[in-house]
Structure formats: C-alpha cells, structure tokens
Amino acid sequence: MCGIIGYIGAKPAFPILLSGLKRMEYRGYDSFGFRVLDQNKEPFYYKKTGKISLAAPELLTMNVEGNIGHAHTRWATHGGVTDCNAHPHLDCRGGISVVHNGIIENYKDLKEELRREGHLFVSQTDTEVIAHLIEKFFDGNLECAVKKAISYLRGTYGIVVISKDDPNKIVAARSGSPLLIGVGKDEFLVASDPAAVIANTKKVLYLNEGEVATITPENYFIFTERQPHEIEWNVEDVEKGSYPHFMLKEIMEQPNSLQNSLRGRLVVEEGRTQLGGLKSVEERLREIDRMYIVACGTARYAGLVAEYMFEEYAGITTKVDAASEFRYRKSTMDRKSAVLAISQSGETADTLAALRDAKSRGILTLGITNVVDSTQARETDAGVYNHAGPEIGVASTKAFTSQLEVLALMALYLGRQRQLSNVMGQRIAAELAAIPDLVARTLKCDPLVKELAAKYKKCDNMIYLGRKYNYPIAMEGALKIKELAYIHAEGVAAGELKHGPIALIEDGFPVVAICPSDSVYEKMISNIMELKARGAKVLAIATEGNEEIAQIVDDVIYIPKTLEMLTPILSVIPLQLFAYHVAVARGSDVDKPRNLAKSVTVE
C-alpha cells in the first residue's frame, strides 16, 4: 500500500509534504514524487525511484514555492519501479495531477477507450488512467470532474487530486483505501495515514466509503454519494401481533431471525462462510494477529463469547473492552490489530467513540450491527449485518443470539484464512446450519420456565454461574433479570465463586448454573455441590439426556446438544424467558424497563 499526503494552507507546502512522506515510508518505498502549485510559475513536479529518506537531504536544498500540493511514496502494483511510474501522474496537458493508493481493476479497458479518444499515456500504471479520465470530464470545476471520473472506476482507490487550472483546492475521494482530512490552524492536510499529519494536527476526520471531499484554504466540504436502501423490515415486524410484549415476540422469533442471519453465508460442504461485507478488507484480515472488541451491555457479552471463539478457532489474540473503558487504555494496537464494534443499534455513543478513537489511530475497524446504514455501519471500514429484523424490546434478545451467530461465522471465516482445517470447518458450518432448529426446540421449555418463574419471583438477589463459553452467558442472564425484574443479580465465573461470592450463599439462596455437557461440565458439578452443601437453591441449564444433574439440583431446564462454542446461543434462551416471566410476574413494564433506553446515544 502507498503513502499519500496533500497540503493546502498558509505555509509552503513542500517541506510539509516531504516530512509527511518520510513518516509514511513504511507504507511503500520503491519511489516517490511531488507536485506543488505556484500561481506565479509552472508547478513544481519531481518524482524518482528510491527511498525518500535517502533523497531528503538533496530535496531540502530545492527552493519550492507554493502552498498547495500533494506527494506520494509508492509500493508498486502496476508497472515496474521507474521514475516514470512514480506518482503523481498527469493528464495530457499537465494540468491535472493525481496520487493514488489502491488498485483500479478495469484500468485496461478505460485506458483503451481513452487512447481511442486521443489521450496519450506515458506510464504503465493504473493510476495514470484516473488523471486522463478526470481530464475527459474537466470543464473548469475539479470536483465535478473527479465525481464523474470515479463513477467509471472499479476497484479500490484513495486519491488526492490537484489542478493548475482550478488551483485553489484539493479534491480527495475514497473507496476501499482509507483517506483522512487533517484539520489544522489555517491549513488542511489529506493523507492515507495519520502518521503523515500528526506533526501539524491531531484533529482528523476519515472519509467514509464513496465520499468526495473538496478542500480549500478556508474549509472542507464532503460530498456523499449515497443511494437510498430498501428497508428489509415489514410493518408487522414493528407490531406485537398476538404477543403481549415485543420482548416475548422477539424471543419466540429467534429461529427465524437466526435463519436470516445465516442466509447465504454458509457453504457447509466446503466448511467455509461467505461474508460479503468483509470482502474489501479480506487481505488485511489475513494479516491481523490481534482483535480488540468494543461494545456495551449485552453486546459486550457477545464479544466475550467471541473472545473464546476467535482464540480457539482462529488463533487470534482477542481482547474485549466495555466501549466506555476502551479510550482509557494505553493503546497497544498496531497495524496487525483490528477493532471490532458490536452494536444492535449502531448508534451507541460509547461504542462509536471507541470506534472513532481506533480510526484516528489508523486501525482497521470492523462492525456487527442490526441496523443497515446506521452510523456504525457507515463509519467502520467493513462489517457484517445481523439481518435479525427490528428489535423493539429494550432488552436485547434476538439481536444478541444473532450477534453470537455472526461472531461464529467470523470465527470460521478468520479460522479458514489461517490453520482451521476443512474438516473442522465443515463441522462448525453444519452445526451452525442446525442452530435455528435447535433454538426452536429449546423454546419448547417456555411453559416450564413460566412455572419456575413463579417460584423465583420474590427473590431479591441471585447469582448466575458459568464457565468458559458460558461465563459471558451467566453475565447476560444476570443482566436480563436485573434490567427486567429489577432483581439484583451477578454473573460469576464459576471458578471465582470460592474467591468471595460464596460468602453470599445461605439457605435458600437462588443460583442459576449454566452447566451443559461440555469440556468444563465436571468442574461445574463440583461448584454446584459446593453450593448445595451451603443450602443454595440451584436452577441448572443442562444438556438433554443428562439425568445425573436432576438428582443434584432443585430444577433443570434442558437444551439440545451442539458444538461447545455454539452452546451460548441455546443456553441464553431459557434465561431470556426466565427474566421475562419473572418480570411479568412482578408487574414490570417488560418492553420499557425503568431508567433504560433502547439506544444509548449519550456517553
């Protein structure tokens, strides 16, 4: 990938362009080039093979005037490493100048057509085609010509364009290659990397996909070419229908919402996924070795499940932060890191703030959200939609299980990019494909859960216990009963019980133990015995067919067997229903619990 920088402002452009290139040399260093506009004479135009750091001493002796310019350090994609192939590239008349990061896939066809129209090419690059395409549409207004030209491009580009015939501006456009605007004092910079602008300003704004920016010495204007999209929901989706509450409706429609989240994304026989929303960053994802997940509330618990998934199946070190805490971290992120934001609404202020913090550091940003074209969807470099349908109940249910499912798809995607075998991929894909039916089977526990809710509705305190993949589900179950029935509950890692929380246990103390037949089952049984020895009342979530546990605990709700990493999608269902029925029994406003809001758009 190449380094791009543009400058427009009160100071001489050349020294700033030179120091910016030096800071981006790591992005590509087989050649470099400059073009600086000077209203008193011909533009300064210089480009050469070699490293900018080695050429800098000679360059600094050059007397280059003019306060508008751009520069580029190249990592060759099309055309050899030669002075001629270095950027910037010009049009026939030497008026328009382009620097580019990315690959234009249809440049050959465009070049042929432009040649037929009389354009003369001097380089072997794809970038030069952009300069001549802009020339073709140029009628004195540079941004209009750029907007027309980019509509013909296929591939990826981050471009910075200047012209001596419309000299008092810089035009930038991005699709697939990041570009940011640095907002300084009486000056603006445009770059592909924050490292290039940090000496002048820390105030940056990343262009979104498809945006075109016009930057003058006084201000910048961003043009967004956004087409309206078709809302995939129907009016029935936002009505309760025959259900007493949206929350119950949304719990019960999870087989359908989970089917929708999977649609078109699984290739079971090949043990792989296809996630179109990650295509533009596919190669960068192959390189990452650390994933930072940022989210709030229930979405964060989905991230905590993914922490185990990504490490176990993709071998990627994963760290989950409450989005509101992420900004306090001393960043250890680097170019092999990615930040993944998870948000049902795509509008949660804390999550967006964390995302923007990551973007300002030039870190690859990914997102999972349930709302098409939401702020998060527009601000991440790439992402995956849940397609779970509108979630009206304030307490997140179907969005949460959809997040777990999409995260499992991402774990499979990342794993297959790495060492995950075809056989294991097929196993995961087959188990994922069966999830909607297994959830439908799990929902048959509703009458039993409603009965049990009557037994627990007078509790003031509860502990939820889980280990490994189900520890986050213990926290999610506790959150559900808190936010719906206003019962104080705590999700505890079962191994942590004896390090303090067990002091709370007394005769009749209610504990929910998530205890499927998985790799930590025996340890969970030991914890349950410790609880029973102290008089606790234990409600277990266990795997169908496990008769042993029914002899040990007070109540059992069974879930079907599945892959350990997918059990959270099933084990959370009884906990959603349990919280719902306890809340109804206690007279809470289930769809609008006190003090809460569906989308927390304030920090």
> So which residues are the catalytic ones?
2, 598
C-beta closer to ligand AGP: residue 90 or 247: 247
Piece in contact with ligand AGP (CB under 6 A), picked from 90-98, 338-346, 439-447, 521-529: 338-346
Piece in contact with ligand AGP (CB under 6 A), picked from 145-153, 268-276, 358-366, 595-603: 595-603
Is residue 502 within 8 A of residue 493, CB to CB? The reply is no
Taking CB under 6 A as the criterion, the residue among 123, 344, 375, 562 binding ligand AGP is: 344
Report the nearest approach of ligand AGP to the CB of residue 145 (Å): 41
313 Rama sector, left if φ>0, alpha if ψ -120 to 50, beta otherwise: alpha
Taking CB under 6 A as the criterion, the residue among 85, 101, 123, 348 binding ligand AGP is: 348
Piece in contact with ligand AGP (CB under 6 A), picked from 36-44, 154-162, 267-275, 342-350: 342-350
Maximum CA extent, the chain: 92
C-beta closer to ligand AGP: residue 348 or 527: 348
* Integer Cα distance of 166 and 151 in angstroms: 21
* Integer Cα distance of 29 and 526 in angstroms: 60
Contacts of 293 (CB under 8 A, 6+ apart): 300, 303, 306, 307, 318, 319, 320, 321, 339, 340, 341, 342
Q: Is 13 in the site for ligand AGP (CB under 6 A)?
A: no
* Integer Cα distance of 419 and 595 in angstroms: 46
Alpha helices in 117-253 (DSSP H): 127-137, 142-150, 246-252
Q: Is 394 in the site for ligand AGP (CB under 6 A)?
A: yes
Report the nearest approach of ligand AGP to the CB of residue 371 (Å): 8
Site string for ligand AGP, 472-511 (x = CB under 6 A): -----------x----------------------------
Indicate the residue type of 190: V
Taking CB under 6 A as the criterion, the residue among 396, 470, 543, 571 binding ligand AGP is: 396
Kindly identify the residues of this chain, within the stretch 349-368, that bind ligand AGP according to CB under 6 A.
351
Q: Is 395 in the site for ligand AGP (CB under 6 A)?
A: yes
Q: Is 190 in the site for ligand AGP (CB under 6 A)?
A: no
Report the nearest approach of ligand AGP to the CB of residue 519 (Å): 28
Give the bridge partners for 7, in sequence order.
Answer: 69, 189
C-beta closer to ligand AGP: residue 257 or 348: 348
* Integer Cα distance of 436 and 163 in angstroms: 57
Site string for ligand AGP, 272-311 (x = CB under 6 A): ------------------------xxxx------------
Residue 390: cis peptide before it, omega within 30 degrees of 0 = no
Contacts of 545 (CB under 8 A, 6+ apart): 558, 561
Q: Is 345 in the site for ligand AGP (CB under 6 A)?
A: yes
Alpha helices in 443-566 (DSSP H): 446-456, 471-485, 521-532
Piece in contact with ligand AGP (CB under 6 A), picked from 165-173, 251-259, 344-352, 526-534: 344-352
Kindly identify the residues of this chain, within the stretch 232-261, that bind ligand AGP according to CB under 6 A.
none
Instruction: State the sign of the Cα–Cα–Cα–Cα dihedral 321, 325, 329, 332.
Output: positive
C-beta closer to ligand AGP: residue 163 or 344: 344
C-beta closer to ligand AGP: residue 562 or 571: 571
Q: Is 343 in the site for ligand AGP (CB under 6 A)?
A: yes
* Integer Cα distance of 597 and 235 in angstroms: 22
* Integer Cα distance of 466 and 464 in angstroms: 7
* Integer Cα distance of 209 and 526 in angstroms: 53
Alpha helices in 35-106 (DSSP H): 52-59
C-beta closer to ligand AGP: residue 166 or 483: 483
Backbone phi, psi, residue 327, to 5°: -70, -15
Question: With CB under 6 A, what is the number of residues at the site for ligand AGP?
Answer: 16
* Integer Cα distance of 603 and 596 in angstroms: 14
Report the nearest approach of ligand AGP to the CB of residue 510 (Å): 21
Report the nearest approach of ligand AGP to the CB of residue 349 (Å): 9
C-beta closer to ligand AGP: residue 344 or 588: 344
Is residue 351 within 8 A of residue 295, CB to CB? The reply is yes
Report the nearest approach of ligand AGP to the CB of residue 244 (Å): 19
Is residue 399 within 8 A of residue 297, CB to CB? The reply is no
Q: Is 599 in the site for ligand AGP (CB under 6 A)?
A: yes
Report the nearest approach of ligand AGP to the CB of residue 483 (Å): 6
User: Strand ranges (DSSP E) for 396-526?
Assistant: 461-466, 488-493, 510-514
Site string for ligand AGP, 432-471 (x = CB under 6 A): ----------------------------------------
Binding positions for ligand AGP, rule: CB under 6 A: 296-299, 343-345, 348, 351, 394-396, 483, 596, 599-600
